[in-house]
Each structure stands twice: as structure tokens, then as C-alpha cells.
Copies of this chain bind each other. A is one copy, B any other.
Amino acid sequence: MTDVYTLGAALGVVASGRIRHDSEARLDVCGPEFTLAVGLARLGHSVAYLGKVGADELGSRILSVLRGEGVDIADLRVDEHAITGLLVKESRVGYPVLTSYYHAGSAGSRLTPGHVPIDRIGAARMLHLTGLSAALGPEVLEAMRAAVTAARNAEVMVSFSVTYRPELWASVREAEKVLGEFALASHLLFVNQDELDLVKPALTGEREVVVNRGAKGASVRADRIRYDVPMVQVPVVDVAGAEEAFCAGYISGALDGLTPSERLRRATHLAAAATTAASEWQALPARADLRRFSPQKPL
């Protein structure tokens, strides 16, 4: 049985410290649902990933990484007529990360409701979606809606991570409308401190709302009680990937039947681990690492 079913766009990523000057860049693959899937698989959960990649080498890389990590990719599609999307990212010290999404016409943006397997979602314990993928085009958005319908019809828990990326939306208004819709449809909602306004109507007691405050820690309101944990201190290499690593940790804790505080601690562990490497997913812990984590500074 699948623990978590997720769908969205996986991309190539080219990361540079200074695009203007550097002649070497880091080449990797990424995506919020990709990170979530790897994070859960490494902790031993069964997780299935639906998406579309091009019939190119970036697509092959996405396939083999997911398969190598033990993610179920039976539903993943290869699109012969489109290339795999790409993200170019500059992480300059002292300035916000700059991103350029090359997703227009990409394979990932061509996922349609027709690709969504109603039965497989209905047989999973949880469906997880992110707001980033909702911004990649109308087809993906419809596919996500189809997945939510399938999940709710089968009484499968719906988890949604807001992951608002302003550069991908035509207007804040539109983002608010779409993100709010998914937030309201969710049972478990992940939202960053600065995204709270976008999904205000969903911040009610009907759902488990997990707030990621970054360096200031995280909290969850469950059964009317608020639980808080501080952020784990580690030397940060690159923050990308931390958001969905956080979700993976929280969901893993939930699947393992941990208490809300324990879920948050696992969430912050994974979020912190994700930031210790340039890759968005390679530093994620294996299950054996869960009890080996010792984020204090050495010597």
C-alpha cells in the first residue's frame, strides 16, 4: 500500500553563486514533490510520484534518481514532444536567491487530468500537493484538482504545502485564489510565516495547520493545542529544499504515529539537514540517521 501519493513537476536545476562571473555551475534535479518523495522514501515510507519529464537526459536523470531512492515511479510519464523544465538559481551571499524558471512548454507543465490515476490515489494513505506546481500552467492545475477530488472521494487525507513563488504568478490575487482553494481542500496544511495571509480562510481548527517560521522555529495547532519547536542550528549551505524536507519530516512523523511535537522535531531535523548541502535532496537523512543527528558545532 502506498503511504503517500504526490504529483508535480520535477526539473533540472543549474545553481551558481554568481551567474555573472562563474564558469562552473552545479547541475542537479529538483522539485518540491521530488524532494518530498525522496525524503519519505529514505525514511522507509512507500511513496509514489506522478509527473512528466522530457525524453532527454535531464528526464533520464530524474527517473534514475527517483528509482534509485526507491520511489514508486510507475505513473511517471516521458513526454516525447517536450523538454524537461529547468530552474536557474543564483544564491549570492547577502542577497535573496534569484530564480529563473524555464518551464514554458516543458514536459512537466503538460501533465493533464487524464494522467491522474483515480484508483491509485484512492488506495493511498495520503495525497500531498504543493502550490509551486499549481503555478506551472492550467493543465497541471487541473491535474491537481482531479487528484484532490479523487482523494476526497476515497476519504484519503489531503496534505498541501503553500510554497508560494511570486515570480510564477501573474498576480497575488490569482495566487491567493488558487492557493486558497487547495488550502481549504486540505486536511493537513503547511504554510510559511509570510504566506499566512494568502491562505487566511483555511487557518481554522478544521485542519492541522503547520507553520514553518524558518530560523524562528515551527509550530502546529492540533486539536486546539499549539505546539512549538525551535529551529535546529546548522551551518547553512543552501536553503532550497528545506520547505519540502520539512513537510517530509512532519508527514513521516505522522505516518509513524508520533506526537505533534515529535513530528515538528523530525520536520526541523529534515529541514536543517536539507540546508547543509548544495543539493536540495542529497543531504536528506536515511532512517538510521534519525537518531544520529547531532547538529551542534564540532570541536
Q: Is A255 an interface residue (CB 8 A)?
A: no
How many copies, total? 6
Q: Is A2 an interface residue (CB 8 A)?
A: no
Q: Which of B21, B58, B299 contacts A239 (CB 8 A)?
A: B299
Contact flags A13-55 to B (C-beta < 8 A → 1, else 0): 0101111111111111000000000000000000000000010
Q: Is A114 an interface residue (CB 8 A)?
A: no
Contact flags A266-298 to B (C-beta < 8 A → 1, else 0): 000001110111010011011001001111011
Across the interface, do A273 and B94 meet the contact criterion of CB distance under 8 Å?
yes
Q: Which of B20, B105, B275, B289 contacts A64 (CB 8 A)?
A: B20
Q: Is A83 an interface residue (CB 8 A)?
A: yes
Across the interface, do B102 and A57 meet the contact criterion of CB distance under 8 Å?
no
Q: Which of B64, B100, B286 contacts A68 (CB 8 A)?
A: B64
* Chain B residue at minimum C-beta to C-beta distance from A91: B298
Across the interface, do B27 and A23 meet the contact criterion of CB distance under 8 Å?
yes
Contact partners of A60 in chain B: CB under 8 A: 19-20, 286
Q: Which of A129-137, A150-158, A230-238 contacts B (4 or more CB under 8 A)?
A: A230-238
Q: Which of B54, B64, B272 contacts A69 (CB 8 A)?
A: B64
Interface of A is mostly: loop
Contacts A58-B88, A68-B64, A282-B21 known; A276 to B93 CB distance under 8 Å?
Answer: yes
* Chain B residue at minimum C-beta to C-beta distance from A57: B19
Across the interface, do A283 and B242 meet the contact criterion of CB distance under 8 Å?
no
- Report the interface size class on chain A: 35 or more
- Alpha-carbon distance A277/B58, docked complex (angstroms): 19
Contact flags A75-119 to B (C-beta < 8 A → 1, else 0): 000000001101010101111101010101100000000000000
CB distance from A193 to the nearest CB of B (A): 12
- Alpha-carbon distance A293/B172, docked complex (angstroms): 23
Q: Which of B12, B64, B298 contacts A88 (CB 8 A)?
A: B12
Q: Is A207 an interface residue (CB 8 A)?
A: no
CB distance from A93 to the nearest CB of B (A): 4
* Chain B residue at minimum C-beta to C-beta distance from A62: B20
Contact partners of A84 in chain B: CB under 8 A: 100
Q: Is A61 an interface residue (CB 8 A)?
A: yes
- Alpha-carbon distance A25/B14, docked complex (angstroms): 8
* Chain A interface (Cβ < 8 Å from any Cβ of B): 12, 14, 16-28, 54, 56-58, 60-61, 64-65, 67-70, 83-84, 86, 88, 90, 92-96, 98, 100, 102, 104-105, 214-215, 231, 234-237, 239, 242, 271-273, 275-277, 279, 282-283, 285-286, 289, 292-295, 297-299
A–B Cβ pairs within 8 angstroms, 5 of them: A20-B282, A21-B282, A24-B25, A92-B283, A236-B297
